[in-house]
Amino acid sequence: MNPPRSVLITGGNRGIGRAIAEAFLAEGDHVAVTTRSGGVPTGALELKADVTDPVALDAAFAAAEEAHGPVEVLVANAGITADTLLLRMSDDDWSSVIDTNLTGSFRLARRAAKSMMRQRRGRIIFISSVVGMLGSPGQVNYAASKAGLVGMARSLARELGPRSITANVVAPGYVETDMTAVLTDEQKAGIKSQVPLGRYADPAEVAGAVVWLASPASAYVTGAIIPVDGGLGMGH
Ligand code: NDP
């Protein structure tokens, strides 16, 4: 059994983030979870913070560090969609998704890297999406934000690698959560028909890849995209 680590997960109260928080708790780690609406898993430290609010984010980090010590594993999971076709996409549809999914993750990584560099170790994990690499009609904003995470992770991998800090991306396919509950049955059936494994992912299956990326077993993996997509995006 490894000693417990200080883990911070954004959006760990629902969906994929919650499954990730539960998986780290099961490993015996010290888990801090940021949320806007509350309701984190039992055993996790609940921190109220909107990832688009730099002051709140900084305060959440400070509280996590005070309770658990310097953050050793950062999972930037919080994300939103605002889907619509290009010609109908407003500036607000664009900027709200970029601010939450990409700029929020940048702020988190910058804050976490400070103490990781001092410690000369750390794991940064971004939750992207298969859509970032494949593209998706009606998701120009979302796909751009998720592709941006890949460039960010790979730059961080180069910049922080000399300090033994890894930066990786997990790219889930379709997972049954509140985010995908808005899809029609027809849309769901269309997606499933393109997935070689013929089903949606369970959030715990995404969590498994994240826990592995934080484990000693993946110490030599950085700048990678780990797909958890049932084969949907094969090749990226
Ligand atoms: P959910 O909609 O179920 O949950 C979203 C989470 O993000 C919530 O915990 C929410 O917190 C948090 N969040 C959203 N906006 C903010 C914000 N501004 N500040 C702080 N927290 C915020 O989504 P999923 O679990 O499905 O998605 C999690 C991640 O996985 C996202 O990045 C998503 O893009 C990605 N993903 C999801 C896929 C899917 O099929 N579901 C596929 C591929 C990637 P709160 O409850 O407090 O609002």
Structural domain contains residue 234: no
Q: What is the pLDDT of residue 2?
A: 77
CA 118 – ligand 1 centroid, Å: 30
- The total of other beta-carbon atoms located within 10 Å of residue 150's CB is 20
Query: Residues 97-151: pLDDT tens digits?
Result: 999 999 999 999 999 999 999 999 999 999 999 999 999 999 999 999 999 999 9
Q: What is the CATH number of the domain that holds 125?
A: 3.40.50.720
Query: Is residue 236 in a domain?
Result: no
Tell me if 15 CB under 6 Å of ligand 1. Answer: yes
| Torsions phi, psi for 154 (to 5 deg) | -70, -35
Q: Estimate the crossing angle of helix 104-119 against helix 140-160, to 10 degrees.
A: 10
Mean pLDDT computed over 158-179: 96
Residue 1 lies in a domain: no
The predicted complex's ipTM stands at 0.99
Any bridge partners for residue 124, and if so which? 74, 167
Query: Could you list the active site residues?
Result: 142
235 domain-assigned: no
Confidence check: pLDDT of 1 > 70: no
**Is any atom of ligand 1 closer than 6 Å to the C-beta of 121?**
no
In a domain, 204, yes or no: yes
Sheet with 30-35, strands from edge to edge, namely: 45-48, 30-35, 6-10, 73-76, 122-127, 165-172, 225-228
- Does the beta carbon of 113 sit less than 6 angstroms from any atom of ligand 1? no
User: In this model, does residue 94 exceed pLDDT 90?
Assistant: yes
In a domain, 143, yes or no: yes
pLDDT at 183 over 90: no
pLDDT digits (tens, 9 = 90+) for 24-43: 999 999 999 999 999 999 99
User: Best mutation site among 80, 188, 226 for ligand 1, i.e. most ligand atoms within 8 A of its Cβ?
Assistant: 80
- Answer yes or no: are the C-beta atoms of 123 and 166 closer than 8 Å: yes
**What span, in angstroms and rounded, lies between the C-alpha atoms of 46 and 67?**
11
Q: Per the domain annotation, does 170 fall within a domain?
A: yes
When the pLDDT of each residue in the chain is averaged and rounded to a whole number, the result is 96
Measured distance CA(167)–CA(154) in Å, rounded: 7
Q: How many A from CA of 11 to the centre of ligand 1?
A: 6
What's the number of domains the chain is made of? 1
Residue range 193-227, pLDDT digits in tens: 999 999 999 999 999 999 999 999 999 999 999 99
**More confident position, 157 or 182:** 157
Q: What is the pLDDT of residue 6?
A: 98
**According to the model, what pLDDT value does residue 213 have?**
98
Per-residue confidence at 84, pLDDT binned at 50, 70, 90? very high
d(CA 69, CA 33): 14
Distance between CA atoms of residues 141 and 81, nearest Å: 8
Write out the residue range of the structural domain in which residue 94 sits: 6-228
Stated pTM of the model: 0.98
φ/ψ (deg, to 5) at 175: -125, 140
In a domain, 63, yes or no: yes
